[in-house]
Amino acid sequence: MKIDIILSGVGGQGILSIATIIGEAVLSEGLQMKQSEVHGMSQRGGDVQSNLRISDKAIYSDLIPQGQCDLILSLEPMEALRYLPYLKKDGWLVTSSVPFVNIPSYPEAEALQAALDAVPNKVVLDVEAIAKDCGSARSANMVLLGAATPFLHLSYESIEEGIRAIFARKGQDIVDKNIAALRAGKAVAEQR
């Protein structure tokens, strides 16, 4: 078993909390993992990514080679496209559809849509609206993680367990809201 994931977004969106939960699930299943993060100046409102590699064998490189990535998981549509050269031919792209526009050169909606349409395997969803609908507006990143669960090759239960472990100290209400968001995201991916 081996899965390579690129998490992407804009600095401050919270891609690392997704990585933390996957990490918790990976450890509980006794698998190996390497997760490369971006800290420092590069994170202030700029593009950010994290390479997450999971395997039942030794993992060498912290970085995923081009054309080897199984899954791009992104909180921003243009940022999802940035890492396409890393995606396997039959790999999946799961991304939020909501643009984060903080640069003057951000592409027009039609051009962005056309570039997304050219990717064969994808789930594009409005994570913010879905999170709001299920009463946890601040859990958009958990909606995205939920939509990725069919492609993670980890048991769905261990992801929910990961959420319980990470959010336990914030109280049951927060745990429940995050799990509701996770389920809502999963439902969208399963309807595709």
Partner 1 sequence: MKALLLLGDEAIAQAALDAGLSGVYAYPGTPSTEITEYIQHSPYSKQENIQCRWATNEKTAMEAAMGMSFAGKRSLVCMKHVGVNVAADPLMNSSISGIVGGLVFVAADDPSMHSSQNEQDSRFYGNFAMIPILEPSNQQEAYDMVYAGFELSERIGYPVMLRITTRLAHSRAGVVRKAQLPQNELHFSEDPKQFVLLPVNARQRYKQLLAAQNDMQASSMNSDFNPYYDAADKSKGIIACGIAYNYLMENFPQGCPWPVLKIGQYPLPEARIRQMLKECKELIVIEEGAPVVENAIKGLCYEEGKIQGRCSGLLPRDGELNPDIVAEAFGLDHQSAYARPQVVMPRPPALCQGCGHRDMYEALTEVVRSLGDEARVFGDIGCYTLGYLPPFRVLNSALDMGASITMAKGAADAGLKYPVAVIGDSTFTHSGMTSLLDAVNANAPITVIISDNETTGMTGGQDSAGTGKIEAICLGLGVDPAHLKVLVPLKKNHEEMVNIIRQEINYPGLSVIIPRRECIQTAARRKKMQAKENQA
In the complex, the residues that contact partner 1 under the rule CB under 8 A are: 10-11, 23, 27, 32-47, 51, 59-67, 78-79, 81-82, 84-89, 91, 102-107, 111-112, 114-115, 118-119
- Among 5, 3, 27, smallest CA distance to 18 is for 5
Q: Is the Cβ–Cβ distance between 165 and 120 less than 8 Å?
A: no
Shortest reach from residue 183's CB to partner 1, in Å: 25
Shortest reach from residue 134's CB to partner 1, in Å: 25
Angle at the Cα of 42 from the Cα atoms of 20 and 159, rounded to 5 degrees: 10
User: Of the two residues 124 and 180, which places its CB atom closer to partner 1 in the complex?
Assistant: 124
User: Of the two residues 92 and 180, which places its CB atom closer to partner 1 in the complex?
Assistant: 92
d(CA 23, CA 51) in angstroms, rounded, equals: 12
Q: Is the Cβ–Cβ distance between 33 and 3 less than 8 Å?
A: no
User: Of the two residues 114 and 137, which places its CB atom closer to partner 1 in the complex?
Assistant: 114
User: Of the two residues 23 and 150, which places its CB atom closer to partner 1 in the complex?
Assistant: 23
- What is the dihedral sign for C-alpha 23, 39, 3, 134? positive
Shortest reach from residue 155's CB to partner 1, in Å: 19
Shortest reach from residue 150's CB to partner 1, in Å: 21
Largest CA distance in the chain: 46
Tokens of 125: 């969803």
Shortest reach from residue 71's CB to partner 1, in Å: 14
User: Of the two residues 66 and 155, which places its CB atom closer to partner 1 in the complex?
Assistant: 66
> 114: how many CB neighbours lie within 10 A of its CB?
11
